[in-house]
C-alpha cells in the first residue's frame, strides 16, 4: 500500500450565526489532512473501509493513512504529534499515560475498534505435546514447560499489549509463572510467522491474520484463541493525541462518525469478501486474502473479530481498569498510581457520545454507561478490578 491515502473533501458547513472570520478559521482547519497511523492487521479494516467507501469524504474530512512497522512507532509518533490519531493497543495507550514507557503522554481513547481476533500459536512440538492426552490443558501446558531444557521463547507484539496480558493470564491460569517459565520477546505482528518457522521462537500471540497464516504455512498451530480466555475481549482502539483532539473537536467528531459507520459495515458477513479483498490490495495493506477473510464476521477461522455488535465500538472504563489491574498484578504499575484516574483520563466515551448524538446516530437512552454494558468479568480477578468512582 502507498504510505498515504487521501480524499477530496467537501466544504464544511459553518452553521447559523457563524461570522465570516470563524468560518474561514474552520475552513483552514478542515483543509489540513488528519494523519492516522495503523499496522497491517485485519482489525485495521474500519479505517481501510472508511477510506475506500468515501466515508471520510462524506464527513468532509481529508485523511492520510500511514502504515507503520511497529506499535512502538505508533506510540512514539502520537507522543510527538507526528500522527494525529492511530489504531492502537489499549494497554499501550494506558501505559503511556501512566508514564510506564518514559514521560507521561497525553493520549485519549474515545472509541474501541474491535473485539477478539488474537491467537496464541505454538510450534508443532508444543502443539503436539499439549494435544497428546486428555488431561486439562493447563496441566499439559505446565508439564510441557517444565520438560524444556531451556525456557521457551514466546513473542508478543508489544510489552504493553492485549496479547501479552492475555498470554500471561493464560499461562498463569495453568499454574505457570510467565516471568520464570518462558522468555518473552517483542516482534512486530507481520514478522512472527517467519520467526516461528525459523525456530527463533517457540510460539507467539498476535492478531489476525497471523495465527491463521502460521497454520496455512505449516509454521505452527493455534493453541487457543484469545476469545476463549476472555470472551468478546476488547482488542484495538482508535487513539488520539490529546492535544490534537482538544484543539480539533469537530474534526475528532467527524473522524469518529466515519469510523463508526465503517464498523457497522465491517460486521456484515455479506461484506467480508469485499473487505478481505480491500485488505489484500497491494496498494493498501497487502494482507493474505483468505486468512483475512477467515477472521472477519462469518469467516471460518478459529478466532473471528467483532467490530460493532455487543458494544464493540464503546470504550468502557471497566476494560481499562482490567488492563491496568493486570499491569499492577505483574509489578509494572506502582501502587501509588490511581488506576481509576488513569482510566478516566484516557478512556473518553463522552467524545464518542457527543459525536454520535450530534447527528442523531444513537438515541441517548441506547448508549452504554461509562462502565460499559458488554464487559464480561474475567475469573479470579477481584483483586485487580477496583471500582470506578
Per-residue model confidence (pLDDT) at position 360: 62
CA torsion through residues 182, 382, 166, 88, sign? negative
How confident is residue 384, by pLDDT bands cut at 50, 70 and 90? very low
How confident is residue 301, by pLDDT bands cut at 50, 70 and 90? confident
pLDDT digits (tens, 9 = 90+) for 191-236: 999 999 999 999 999 999 999 999 999 999 999 999 989 988 999 9
Distance between CA 102 and CA 100 in Å, rounded?
Answer: 6
Distance between CA 341 and CA 321 in Å, rounded?
Answer: 10
What strands lie across the sheet with 63-67, from one edge to the other?
63-67, 34-38, 85-88, 237-241, 107-112
Residues whose CB falls within 8 Å of the CB of residue 97, separated by 6 or more in sequence, listed in order: 104, 105, 106, 107, 342, 345, 346
CA torsion through residues 147, 151, 156, 161, sign? positive
pLDDT digits (tens, 9 = 90+) for 156-169: 999 999 999 999 99
Per-residue model confidence (pLDDT) at position 22: 46
Residue 10 gets which letter from DSSP?
P
Can you tell me which residue has the cell 508478543?
A: 156
Per-residue model confidence (pLDDT) at position 130: 79
pLDDT of 365 over the 90 cut: no
Per-residue model confidence (pLDDT) at position 10: 36
Distance between CA 168 and CA 178 in Å, rounded?
Answer: 6
More confident site: 168 or 2: 168
Distance between CA 276 and CA 268 in Å, rounded?
Answer: 12
81-108: average pLDDT: 97
330-351: average pLDDT: 96
On the 0-12 / 13-18 / 19+ scale of CB atoms within 10 A, 158 is: buried
Per-residue model confidence (pLDDT) at position 379: 41
DSSP string, 108-127: EEEEE--B--EEEEE-HHHH
Per-residue model confidence (pLDDT) at position 138: 58
5-25: average pLDDT: 43
73-86: average pLDDT: 98
pLDDT of 376 over the 50 cut: no
Per-residue model confidence (pLDDT) at position 5: 37
Per-residue model confidence (pLDDT) at position 374: 43
Per-residue model confidence (pLDDT) at position 140: 73
How confident is residue 141, by pLDDT bands cut at 50, 70 and 90? confident
Per-residue model confidence (pLDDT) at position 133: 57
301-319: average pLDDT: 91
Distance between CA 302 and CA 309 in Å, rounded?
Answer: 19
Per-residue model confidence (pLDDT) at position 356: 87
Of 18-22, 41-45, 134-138, 265-269, the one with minimum mean pLDDT is 18-22
SS3 of 377, please? coil
Instruction: Report all structural domains of the chain as residue ranges with CATH numbers, in order of start.
Output: 20-114+235-384 (3.40.190.10), 118-229 (3.40.190.10)
Please give the mean pLDDT across all residues of the chain.
87
Amino acid at each position: 500500500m502507498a504510505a498515504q491515502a487521501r480524499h477530496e473533501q467537501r466544504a464544511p458547513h459553518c452553521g447559523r450565526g457563524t461570522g465570516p472570520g470563524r468560518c474561514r478559521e474552520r475552513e483552514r482547519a478542515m483543509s489540513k489532512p488528519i494523519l492516522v497511523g495503523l499496522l497491517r492487521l485485519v482489525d485495521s479494516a474500519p479505517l481501510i473501509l472508511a477510506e475506500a467507501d468515501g466515508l471520510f469524504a462524506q464527513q468532509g474530512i481529508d485523511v492520510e493513512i500511514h502504515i507503520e512497522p511497529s506499535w512502538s512507532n505508533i506510540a512514539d509518533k502520537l507522543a510527538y504529534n507526528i500522527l494525529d490519531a492511530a489504531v492502537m493497543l489499549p494497554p499501550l495507550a494506558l501505559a503511556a499515560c501512566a508514564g510506564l514507557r518514559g514521560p507521561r503522554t497525553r493520549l485519549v481513547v474515545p472509541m474501541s475498534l474491535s473485539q477478539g481476533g488474537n491467537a496464541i500459536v505454538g510450534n508443532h512440538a508444543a502443539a503436539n505435546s499439549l494435544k497428546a492426552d486428555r488431561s486439562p490443558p493447563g496441566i499439559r501446558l505446565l508439564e510441557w514447560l517444565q520438560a524444556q531444557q531451556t525456557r521457551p521463547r514466546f513473542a508478543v507484539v508489544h510489552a504493553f499489549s492485549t496479547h501479552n496480558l492475555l498470554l500471561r493470564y493464560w499461562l498463569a491460569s495453568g499454574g505457570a509463572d510467565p516471568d520464570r517459565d518462558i522468555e518473552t520477546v517483542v516482534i512486530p505482528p507481520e514478522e512472527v510467522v517467519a520467526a516461528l518457522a525459523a525456530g527463533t521462537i517457540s510460539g507467539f500471540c498476535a492478531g489476525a491474520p497471523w495465527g491463521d497464516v502460521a497454520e496455512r504455512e505449516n509454521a505452527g498451530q493455534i493453541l487457543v484463541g484469545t476469545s476463549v480466555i476472555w470472551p468478546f475481549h476488547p482488542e484495538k482502539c482508535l487513539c488520539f493525541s490529546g492535544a490534537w483532539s482538544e484543539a480539533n473537536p469537530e474534526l475528532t467528531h467527524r473522524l469518529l462518525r466515519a469510523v463508526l459507520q465503517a464498523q457497522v459495515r465491517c460486521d456484515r458477513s455479506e461484506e467480508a469478501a469485499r473487505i478481505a479483498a480491500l485488505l489484500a490490495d497491494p496498494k493498501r495493506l497487502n494482507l493474505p486474502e483468505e486468512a483475512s477473510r477467515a477472521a472477519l464476521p462469518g469467516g471460518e477461522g478459529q478466532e473471528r473479530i467483532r467490530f460493532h455488535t455487543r458494544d464493540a465500538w464503546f470504550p468502557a472504563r471497566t476494560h481499562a481498569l482490567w488492563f491496568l489491574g493486570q499491569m499492577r498484578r505483574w509489578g509494572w504499575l506502582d501502587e501509588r498510581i490511581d488506576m481509576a484516574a488513569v482510566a478516566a483520563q484516557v478512556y473518553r466515551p463522552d467524545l464518542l457520545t457527543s459525536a454520535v448524538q450530534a447527528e442523531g446516530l444513537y438515541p441517548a437512552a441506547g448508549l452504554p454507561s461509562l462502565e460499559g454494558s458488554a464487559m464480561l468479568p474475567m475469573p479470579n480477578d477481584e483483586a485487580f478490578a477496583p471500582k470506578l468512582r
